[in-house]
Amino acid sequence: MTAATYLITVSGPDRPGVGAELFQAVHQLASESCTINDVAQITIRGYLVLCCEVTVDNTETPERLRERAIETGVVAEGIDVTVAVVEPRDFVNDKRLLVTFLAPSVTSEAFVAVFKAIASSGATCERIVHLASYPVDCYELVVRGPNHTVLREALTQSASELGLDLAVQRAGLHRRAKHLVVMDADSTLLQDEVIDLLAEACGCVDKVSEITERAMAGEIDFAESLRQRVALLKGMPASVLVDVRAKIRLTPGARTLLRTLQRLGYVPAVVSGGFVEVLAPLLSDLGVDLLEANRLEIIDGVLSGHLASAVVDRAGKARALRRFAEEVGVPLQQTVAVGDGANDIDMLSIAGLGIAFNAKAMVKQHADTALSVPYLDAVLYFLGISREEIETQ
């Protein structure tokens, strides 16, 4: 005997018992060779949509199945039941991806563009979750399609045209597995550049700025530029480090990001071209134990103008990420790197998810995704963590 597959959909105002009534109807069919294949439900503002896919003897008709649902009492005031024949689909070559996009406000135009991009690649959207409505608007889609490369390209182009921050990641249990989240400090975790604060305290802002500009122009590399800038600090009392630390401003959302990561079992870390003497006490107060940064040489309470360690440069940051991953016990695929500068490129490239935070175009090219909003806790949305979870104490 052959069988047919139907989708039973219940919709209307939610109330206690609707689900029980639907499954009572399905249970009644079960005695006559009914198999439940799939179930899904969503409730928005008290309005319920509950779906159940069943396979039954093909002598049944949608009309008769609906009559049986009505007989069980599932159709109450304001509640509607539909039964439709569905064709089985071959998903062997289709795999799921998670598409996360956000903006200060996600418009209908953005939805049109995203869903046109999904359709153009032959993919379909299975689920939409509204992760956050403030301080940014963020949605996560579960998308199934045969060609992930085409899908990524179409979505990336649409996001770029509309100014959306977008990430496309593989779906799976790894999303909730133990993760290591490594951040740059200056202009990422912090609003400030520590070397600039030190220069201000030492009265050598112009000279430090000149060296920085030469480094950005490619005239000298980062390591040499750092040594030259540190040399200008020679003779300053070490107490200046305490003064500078008191002036440091965290990026909006930084405390929320760290607190949420720690509460959910993720491990935060900082890898910086800045200085341990400034960052370590600050990170200790924030509960961050993993730090890799440069060390200043201090002799008799005075800055010598030299470094007391190897320079933490672009390659050094990537090495630190690898080492931290080994110490924490997670594969690179479960690491997240967040940074804004050229020194972060290697780190962003090797991480499972590289996020360019308010970065220049060159840095974005080497990252998996980018954030252009000023809130660091928006990183959490790319991990599938909703605003509701963030605010749960």
Report the number of distinct structural domains present in the chain: 3
Judge if 135 and 242 occupy the same domain: no
Cα gap 264→272, rounded to integer Å: 24
Quote the radius of gyration of the chain (alpha carbons, Å): 27
Judge if 334 and 260 occupy the same domain: yes
Domain membership of residue 336 as a residue range: 180-391
CATH of residue 30's domain is: 3.30.70.260
Judge if 203 and 314 occupy the same domain: yes
Judge if 356 and 271 occupy the same domain: yes
> The tokens of 176 are what?
């909730």
Query: Is 184 in the active site?
Result: yes
Query: Is 94 in the active site?
Result: no
Catalytic residue among 57, 80, 165, 186: 186
Among the candidates 171, 201, 218, a domain finishes at 171
Judge if 254 and 328 occupy the same domain: yes
**Domain membership flag for residue 90:** no
**Domain membership flag for residue 363:** yes
Model pTM score: 0.85
- The pLDDT tens digits along the chain (393 residues) read 577 888 888 888 888 877 777 677 666 655 556 788 888 888 888 888 888 888 877 666 777 766 766 665 555 566 787 888 887 655 445 688 999 999 999 999 999 999 999 999 999 998 999 999 999 999 999 999 888 889 999 999 999 999 999 999 988 766 667 689 999 999 999 999 999 999 999 999 999 999 988 887 778 888 999 999 999 999 999 999 999 999 999 999 999 999 999 999 999 999 999 999 999 999 999 999 999 999 999 999 999 999 999 999 999 999 999 999 999 999 999 999 999 999 999 999 999 999 999 998 999 999 999 999 999 999 999 999 999 999 985
Catalytic residue among 137, 184, 368, 377: 184
CATH of residue 235's domain is: 3.40.50.1000
SS3 category, 166 = strand
Judge if 66 and 106 occupy the same domain: no
**Residues 382 and 353 sit within 8 Å (Cβ to Cβ):** yes
Helix (H) or strand (E) holding 196: helix 194-202
Cα gap 283→281, rounded to integer Å: 6
